[in-house]
Structure 1
Amino acid sequence: MHVDTPPVPPAVAELLVAVAAPPRLVAHLGLVHEVAETVLDGCAALGLRVDREAVLFGAATHDIGKAVHREELSVPGSLHERAGYELLLAHGVPERLARFARTHGAWDAPGTTAEDLLVSLADKAWKDSRVRDLEDRVTDRLAEAGGHERWEAFLALDDLLAGIGADAPCRLAVQAAHPLH
């Protein structure tokens, strides 16, 4: 666990500067990106093969629309989702990567990919928020991909998320140490 804000990929860091992302948003995206790496490693060990680059990019940019809708840094809202998607496209990001800004809150929509689920999961797990339906969907993908019994996949995911959750207070403190604007 980093004391400072974990880094995002260089291309994402450049995007965050270009959109004048506030410090708290940069911190949040770095923290979710870091958790996504852990989630990806745990899921890969269980046999789930996904586009790692896409998941990491999605985790590092999923809330970029909050650079436009800054009020959503401190109050719930979903205006940032569409705005983030459009912002990424306007900066030349391919749709296959920009989509996570739009889909991270809609993981229960038809056609949701494993990559979409993992970005959503990292966005919940970083603060130890457990969402049963989301976790059930990931469990199903893990069981299918690795040829595991569903209960085995469930226990493995639960252990992974419990480990991530143990560091949530530190991550929340890191994010809170950064100003909203």
Structure 2
Amino acid sequence: MSRILLQHALTDPGLRTLPTRVEDLLRNLAAPPRLAAHLRAVHEVACELVDWVDSHYRGLLFDRDAVLFGAATHDIGKILHPDELSGPGSAHEQAGYELLVAQGFAEESARFAWTHGSWTAPEVRMEDLLVSLADKVWKAKRVPELEELVVRHLAVAEGQESWQVFMALDDELDRIAAGADRRLAFQARYPVSA
């Protein structure tokens, strides 16, 4: 039954599908259906964010594919810490990084598992910030400190005033947040465990 629910969480219409290699990984690891649904919701928002950045901030050089992979795998460590699917905790962050590396993914790709919760670390880049932002705004949560970091990167890349970028980003995040109920309902359809 668990595999059937996982399959539904990966393929049900309503949200974009995850990259094939991530779907395969989730199947191979028998991921909880709720985790797959959550990763799809965050990936969906990441797709919207990178599309917006691409069209409004062409001066910003960033790795679009890395952001989308990061969003699709950021909480993979919750396979090892399933209690964090329904409660707080950060043990999944390092565990997710180690799990991805053990599965043959490059450290550069695996890093999103731990950076999505540590956006103030010195080694964090724009890609990490976008994954973190997607992980918050998918459920309409706004984090001013995180948004300010994104604004700073965008303003520098385009040579714009921070307030101009803030206004544009704020509008976009409001638009994305308006779909939170739909994404939350999608995720809630799937159990934390089978």
Q: Same fold (TM over 0.5)?
A: yes
CA distance in 2, matches of 1:24, 1:6: 16
Structure 2 residue aligned with 1:60: 72
CA drift at 1:6: 3.1
Q: Select which of 21, 27, 39 maps to 1:11.
A: 21
The residue identity in structure 1 corresponding to 2:37 is: A
Structure 2 residue aligned with 1:159: 171
Q: Select which of 75, 98, 115 maps to 1:86.
A: 98
Structure 1 residue aligned with 2:53: 43
The residue identity in structure 2 corresponding to 1:23 is: P
Same amino acid, percent of matched pairs: 56
The residue identity in structure 2 corresponding to 1:39 is: L
Q: Over residues 32-61 of structure 1, what are the superposed CA-to-partner deviations in whole Å (9 max), with x where a residue is unaligned?
A: 011001111111222322101110000000
Matched, 1:175 2:187: yes
CA drift at 1:111: 2.1
After TM superposition, which residue ranges in structure 1, 4 or more long, deviate above 6 angstroms?
A: none
The residue identity in structure 2 corresponding to 1:57 is: F
1:3 and 1:174 in contact (8 A); partners too: no
1:29 and 1:60 in contact (8 A); partners too: yes
Q: Select which of 66, 74, 89 maps to 2:86.
A: 74
CA distance in 2, matches of 1:32, 1:46: 21
Alignment of 1:120-159 (within 5 A): 120-159=132-171
CA distance in 2, matches of 1:34, 1:51: 17
Name stretches of at least 5 consecutive residues in structure 2 with no aligned partner: 1-11
Question: How many correspondences in the alignment?
Answer: 180
2:70 and 2:113 in contact (8 A); partners too: yes
Structure 2 residue aligned with 1:25: 35
2:18 and 2:72 in contact (8 A); partners too: yes
Q: Note the aligned Cα RMSD (angstroms).
A: 1.1
CA distance in 1, matches of 2:177, 2:61: 23
CA distance in 2, matches of 1:25, 1:4: 16
CA drift at 1:3: 5.3
TM-score, normalization: structure 1? 0.96
Structure 2 residue aligned with 1:118: 130
CA distance in 2, matches of 1:111, 1:94: 17
2:15 and 2:44 in contact (8 A); partners too: no
CA drift at 1:138: 0.2
Name stretches of at least 5 consecutive residues in structure 1 with no aligned partner: none
